[in-house]
Amino acid sequence: MDQRFHEPRHVLYVAWAFAPHQGPGVYRPLATVAELVRAGHRVTVLTADLDTFDLIIGGDRTLLDDVADSVRVVRVAMDPLERDPLLNRWPNARIRRPKRWAARVRDDQTQSFPELVYSTWQPRAEAAAARIHEVDPIDLVIATGNPYVDYTVPLRLSVDYGIPFVLDDRDSWLLNVYTGEPAPLADQTLPWLEFALSRALRMWFVNEPIAQWHRERFPQYADRIAVVENGWDPRFLDIDQIHRDRRPGSRLVYTYVGTVSSTFPLRLLAEAWRIARHRSAELSDAELRVVGSFGHGGHLTAEQTAIADEYARDGLILTGRTPKHQITQVYAEADVLVFLKEGSAMVTSGKVYEYVATGLPIVSMLDAQHDARRILDGYPRWHDARDYSERALSAAMLEALDDMAQGERHFAAAAEYGARRSREAHLRPALADVFAALRP
């Protein structure tokens, strides 16, 4: 291959939700930037300001430690508008007529770009990117969504300066991947996406069902659409420590790790756990830990609070989010992992890769077409509920108990299966393909 394809490039990486954003979507950007640095490229990240994460969305400052010193991070302020928690900054119109004010804000937000909440970042981000290019010419832009306002930056730079770009879509700009229905504002989004695909070097999706849907919808651009799966992050997950910290003979712990949204089947999980405890004396003092953020705001709903209270005597513990740098300890304290995820064929989940990397028994309850089954299939310690019910899930929990009782002899084979599914293993060939496609 021409050596010029391997020359260091200046890459602008656009991710509104970059560190210290604490949502699950931050880890793919962190890993992509790290891979670009590892490959010898100069990287500038364009992201939101720190106040947005510290005061508005929720942030984890420890994630900043995972950004290499060589990476230049440009932070562009984001107007919080409806999300602003500081009352003394609220305009008089909001205080006097909050509903009318909110309706006007939502109308204004989609005038220039079809996305609520984030679209106001567009002019500031585009201006910052243009200035970056003036000072230090950009060779390639990679932008990740959502939010999809990130995509306006490479489009602007492509139109104004001819800079090639890659769009990394972690879900789908057009579809609700959980339901298969059109996403909000899909009609307005369609021309934007079609224009973006007409100029993009590549567009990445996280699984084949989503990618194939887009290939069929845009056959003229099918050769630009690629799958770049998620994976587990060795920088956060220490498999040796998980194995080393096993605690035979202590109280048994079943653990769910992941976001607990308003649609997460928490009551079904809690009831299945209660049934399993009643059916096995070995689980009489066991715990079921639910570890993860509660929705986007980090707070339990009234129904979730009621469930937590009702099943507390059954050993149900809702711990909330654990900082990513402490996630190894969460898995090290678990004897069995429980995996539940909403959605179907277009949903994989980033957590399932982390689960299979641990080597622990995994209990699951998923839609029959759920894409996470593809990752779990072949994992030697997978115990799947035979149908979507409390009884079936409790039976799978007891099967996993038998698995665990056989000792650690399955651990090595299970961990070896998961080791092949690291995030780097998926990112490296995808990035090599992009740089090979760049014109010399």
**ω before 146 within 30° of 0 (cis)?**
yes
* Residue of 42 and 245 predicted with greater confidence: 42
Tell me the CA end-to-end span of the chain in Å, nearest whole number.
11
Over residues 181-190, the mean pLDDT reads 91
Query: How many Cα atoms are found within 13 Å in the side-chain-facing hemisphere of 291?
Result: 23
**For residue range 28-37, what is the model confidence (pLDDT) as tens digits?**
999 999 999 9
Say if residues 213 and 182 touch (Cβ distance below 8 Å).
no
Q: Which residue has the tokens 């570890």?
A: 291
Say if residues 319 and 155 touch (Cβ distance below 8 Å).
no
21 three-state secondary structure = strand
- Architecture field, domain 3-231+423-437: 3-Layer(aba) Sandwich (3.40)
Q: How far apart are CA 338 and CA 399, in angstroms?
A: 12
Q: Angle of helix 27-38 relative to helix 423-437, nearest 10 degrees?
A: 60
Strand partners of residue 317? 289
Over residues 362-371, the mean pLDDT reads 96
Residue 440 scores a pLDDT above 70: no
**Considering the chain, what percentage of its residues have pLDDT values greater than 90?**
72
Any residues with CB less than 8 A from the CB of 352 and at least 6 apart, and which? 339, 341, 372, 375, 376
Say if residues 141 and 154 touch (Cβ distance below 8 Å).
yes
* Residue of 370 and 184 predicted with greater confidence: 370
Q: Angle of helix 186-199 relative to helix 152-161, nearest 10 degrees?
A: 40
Strand partners of residue 204? 168, 226
Over residues 356-364, the mean pLDDT reads 95
Kindly give the residue spans of alpha helices, DSSP state H, lying in 46-175. Answer: 50-51, 92-96, 98-109, 122-135, 152-161
Say if residues 290 and 340 touch (Cβ distance below 8 Å).
no
Q: How far apart are CA 349 and CA 336, in angstroms?
A: 19
Q: How far apart are CA 410 and CA 407, in angstroms?
A: 8
The DSSP letter of residue 183 is P
Say if residues 356 and 375 touch (Cβ distance below 8 Å).
yes
Q: 325: closest CA among 93, 66, 88, 101?
A: 66
Query: Mean pLDDT, the chain, as a whole number?
Result: 91
Which of 26-40, 103-117, 152-166, 420-434 is predicted least confidently? 103-117
CA-only gyration radius of the chain, Å: 23
Burial 139-163 (b: 16+ CB within 10 A, else e): bbbbbbbbbbbbbbbbbbbbeeeeb
| pLDDT reported for residue 76 | 97
| pLDDT reported for residue 312 | 95
Ordered strands of the 202-205 beta sheet: 72-76, 42-48, 10-14, 140-145, 165-169, 202-205, 225-227
Query: By CB neighbour count within 10 A (0-12 exposed, 13-18 middle, 19+ buried), where does 215 fall?
Result: middle
Query: Amino acid letter at 394?
Result: S
| pLDDT reported for residue 363 | 98
Say if residues 232 and 423 touch (Cβ distance below 8 Å).
yes
| pLDDT reported for residue 23 | 86
In CATH, what class is 239-419?
A: alpha beta
Say if residues 340 and 265 touch (Cβ distance below 8 Å).
yes
* Residue of 80 and 269 predicted with greater confidence: 269
| pLDDT reported for residue 3 | 41
**For residue range 288-337, what is the model confidence (pLDDT) as tens digits?**
999 988 876 667 889 999 999 999 999 999 998 888 889 999 999 999 99
The pTM for the full model equals: 0.91
Q: How far apart are CA 368 and CA 377, in angstroms?
A: 12
Over residues 175-189, the mean pLDDT reads 91
* Confidence category of residue 4, pLDDT binned at 50, 70, 90: very low
| pLDDT reported for residue 296 | 62
CATH 3.40.50.2000 residue ranges in the chain? 3-231+423-437, 239-419
**For residue range 48-98, what is the model confidence (pLDDT) as tens digits?**
999 999 988 888 999 999 999 999 999 999 988 888 888 888 989 989 998
